[in-house]
Every structure is written in structure tokens, then in C-alpha cells.
């Protein structure tokens, strides 16, 4: 049996990068997965009966309700919420217009809040749940040209801690992951435009490589499993030691 055999998971940002890695890992470990993204999520290489996908813009007001309802209709439950979808726009403070700020907060924070709210009652009724939110090492250490992104990721940490306090008595844990540099749809185009960035990313930490989506997916799996039942309100750095150097 897999480590989350029989569980039902929602994974956002599942069309590529970390989200795709998480969805694939969860499926391999026995869970049923609703993969959510604006783009089509890739079909699984495992049992299709345990996989469904939904294309939706998380900034839409009814997105959280649609996602929760779809998961219940398809699989009859919600056990794990992997809140991973996010955007990153590199702009200096003076160049960050209202639209850029509002979009970052809507996707990186408000959508997470609404999905936590939409799934909490279902998890409480089952007496078991795992909420795992993707933050960033920028939630611990700010970096120039990432004003909106950094602010949103700091807020993800606060949101997750509050959720952990409220839901802990119901058998639900809430944690957040702090990835460092990961090869995803966000970083790959930057590296393609400037190949010297790869060396920068590879040397951000102390293990001399940037992360692959699978590295982050492994952390999601741990926090989703029974092995992490006594861990909540925690920010798990999966950064190759980058925070040690910042």
C-alpha cells in the first residue's frame, strides 16, 4: 500500500512544475487526485479512475467552490489540499502597479484562503485532513524586485499558522513549504533567456544544484502522510540550504 492509499487530494497549479510533480507523487502513493490549473493538467500514467482535472482561473470568485464541489462529486471526499498554484512577477517597488499587486495577492494568497475555507468543513466531518501550502524562502528572506511575491508568501505563512490553530483539534494539520530555486515553468524561461542564471540558482544553497519538482513533491508527500501527524503550523524549507546563506 502507498503512504496515502485511499486518500483524496486536490492539487492546484498541477499542469506543470511543482504541482505536476505533487499530483504524480500522490497518485503513485495511492491517492485519488483532482488536478487544478488554468492549463490542461497532464493525464496520469496510473489508474485513470483515480484522476480528474479541472481548468479554472483561481482568481475567479467562485473558483474555490467549484473545485471543492467537483472533488466531492468525483471522489466523494476531500482529505488533502495541496495549495500550490502561484505567480511571480519580477518588478521593483516603483514599477509594481496595482494590477500586478492585486493579481499576485489574488492567486498566491486569496485563492489559498478560499480553498482552505471551502475544504475545512469536509475535512472536519471526516476527522482527518492535511492542508499544505506552497510559500517560498522569500517568506523568510526578502529579495529585491519581488515586492508583491514576497508580501504574498509572508502572508501564506501567517494564513497557514492560523488555519493550524483553528483546525488542529479536528485531526487536521496545516503546514507550508518553503522551496528555494526550482526548475519550473517560472524559472525555465528565465534560464533560457539568460543561461548564467542556472549557475546562480545552482549555487543558492549548499548542495550546488537547484531543486527539481520531485524534490518538493517528496516534502508534500511527507506532510500529507500519517508520519507527519504531529507536525502542524510549520514551515518546511526545501531549499538545499539556501536560507543558511541568505
Judged on CB neighbours under 10 Å (0-12, 13-18, 19+), 202 is: middle
Residue 5's CB: how many other CB atoms inside 10 A? 9
- DSSP string spanning 112-147? HHHHHHHHHHHHHHHT-EEEEEE--GGGTS--TTBH
Secondary element (H or E) of residue 175: strand 172-179
Rounded distance, CA 115 to CA 128, Å?
16
149 an active-site residue?
A: yes
Strand 80-83: give its sheet, edge to edge. Answer: 51-55, 32-37, 8-12, 80-83, 129-134, 172-179, 235-238
User: With b meaning 16 or more CB within 10 Å and e meaning fewer, what string describes 43-80?
Assistant: ebeeeeebbbbbebebbeeebbeebbebbeeebebbbb
| Catalytic one of 90, 143, 149, 201 | 149
Residues annotated as catalytic (active site), given as ranges: 149
Amino acid at each position: 500500500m502507498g503512504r496515502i492509499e485511499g486518500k483524496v487530494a486536490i492539487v492546484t497549479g498541477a499542469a506543470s512544475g511543482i504541482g505536476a510533480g505533487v499530483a504524480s507523487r500522490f497518485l503513485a502513493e495511492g491517492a485519488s487526485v483532482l488536478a487544478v490549473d488554468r492549463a490542461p493538467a497532464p493525464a496520469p500514467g496510473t489508474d485513470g479512475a483515480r484522476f480528474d482535472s479541472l481548468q479554472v482561473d483561481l482568481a475567479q470568485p467562485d473558483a474555490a467552490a467549484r473545485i471543492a464541489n467537483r472533488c466531492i462529486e468525483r471522489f466523494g471526499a476531500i482529505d488533502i489540499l495541496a495549495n500550490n498554484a502561484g505567480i511571480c512577477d519580477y518588478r521593483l517597488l516603483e514599477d509594481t502597479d496595482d494590477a500586478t499587486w492585486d493579481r499576485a495577492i489574488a492567486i498566491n494568497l486569496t485563492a489559498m484562503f478560499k480553498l482552505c475555507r471551502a475544504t475545512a468543513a469536509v475535512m472536519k466531518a471526516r476527522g482527518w485532513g492535511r492542508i499544505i501550502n506552497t510559500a517560498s524562502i522569500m517568506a523568510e528572506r526578502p529579495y529585491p524586485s519581488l515586492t508583491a511575491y514576497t508580501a504574498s508568501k509572508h502572508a501564506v505563512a501567517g494564513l497557514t499558522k492560523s488555519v493550524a490553530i483553528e483546525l488542529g483539534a479536528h485531526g487536521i494539520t496545516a503546514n507550508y513549504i518553503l522551496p528555494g530555486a526550482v526548475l519550473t515553468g517560472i524559472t525555465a524561461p528565465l534560464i533560457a533567456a539568460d543561461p548564467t542564471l542556472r549557475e546562480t540558482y545552482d549555487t543558492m544553497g549548499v548542495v550546488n544544484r537547484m531543486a527539481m519538482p520531485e524534490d518538493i513533491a517528496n516534502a508534500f508527500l511527507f506532510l500529507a502522510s500519517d508520519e507527519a501527524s504531529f507536525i502542524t503550523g510549520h514551515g518546511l524549507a526545501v531549499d538545499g540550504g539556501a536560507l543558511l546563506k541568505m
